[in-house]
Amino acid sequence: MGIVYTAWNAEIVGTLLHSAQSRLLDLGFQANHIRLLEVPGAFELPLGAQSLFEQHQLDGVICLGAVIKGDTPHFDFVSQACTQGILRVGLDYKKPCIFGVLTVLNTEQALARIAGGSVGDKGQEAADTLLHLLQRL
- So which residues are the catalytic ones? 74
CA distances from 85 to 10, 63, 118 (A): 21, 11, 29
Q: Cα(34)–Cα(19) distance, rounded to whole angstroms?
A: 13
Task: Concatenate the DSSP letters of all residues of 3-67 into one string.
Answer: EEEESTTHHHHHHHHHHHHHHHHHTT--GGG-EEEEESSGGGHHHHHHHHHHHH--S-EEEEEEE
| Geometric angle at alpha carbon 54, from 48 and 57, rounded to 5° | 115
The residues with which 67 forms a beta bridge, in sequence order, are 103
